[in-house]
């Protein structure tokens, strides 16, 4: 599993953590466009628990440009630090030579089954089943 591989030349968050339903619900209610983009991206991950997706693939499925996602996850991290006690995202990420020797700068993301279930539960409780975010 990519998030467990040790080695120099890789960066990872060891699969992220499981957030509480309350904190996920708060994020679901955050209205900024950047948060909508993160939610669309994370919805893709939640729809494919345990599957590792590259930024390119997940962004394409979510209808979000990779440059938009890069800016949005920065805002998401700021939101997380300002409104929760978490230090880790509710999803896993990794990049580097150990993760993908042919493309060491491509980021790889995944949600565990528990993270995906919690994400989808919070999504349904706060907004119902939402259609994909319009471009």
pLDDT tens for 16-35 read 899 999 999 999 999 899 99
Residue 4 placed within a domain: no
**What are the helix and strand counts (H, E) for the chain?**
5, 4
Which CATH number does the domain housing residue 92 bear?
1.10.10
Residue 135 placed within a domain: no
Asked if residues 52 and 1 have their Cβ atoms less than 8 Å apart, the reply is no
Residue 8 placed within a domain: no
Residue 93 placed within a domain: yes
Lowest average pLDDT, out of 10-14, 25-29, 112-116, goes to 10-14
Q: Which of 127, 121, 94 is nearest to 19 (CA)?
A: 121
Residue 59 placed within a domain: yes
Domain assignment of residue 49, given as a range: 13-127
Mean pLDDT of the chain: 86
Number of domains in the chain: 1
Q: Which of 47, 90, 44 is nearest to 63 (CA)?
A: 44
Please work out, in degrees rounded to the nearest 5, the angle formed at the alpha carbon of residue 64 by the alpha carbons of 60 and 70.
Answer: 110
For residue 43, what are its two tokens? 């919805």
Residue 17 placed within a domain: yes
Using one digit for the tens of pLDDT, what is the confidence trace for 58-72? 999 999 999 999 999
Enumerate the β-bridge partners of residue 53. 109
């Amino acid at each position: 599993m990519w998030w467990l591989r040790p080695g120099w030349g890789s960066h990872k968050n060891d699969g992220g953590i499981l957030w509480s339903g309350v904190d996920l619900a708060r994020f679901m209610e955050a209205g900024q466009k950047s948060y909508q983009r993160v939610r669309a991206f994370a919805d893709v991950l939640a729809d494919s628990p345990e599957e590792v997706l590259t930024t390119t693939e997940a962004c394409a499925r979510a209808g979000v440009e990779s440059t938009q996602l890069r800016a949005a996850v920065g805002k998401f991290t700021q939101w997380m630090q300002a409104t929760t006690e978490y230090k880790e995202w509710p999803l896993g990420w990794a990049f580097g030579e150990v993760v993908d020797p042919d493309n060491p700068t491509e980021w790889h993301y995944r949600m565990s089954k528990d993270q995906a279930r919690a994400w989808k539960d919070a999504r349904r409780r706060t907004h119902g089943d939402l259609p994909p975010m319009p471009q």
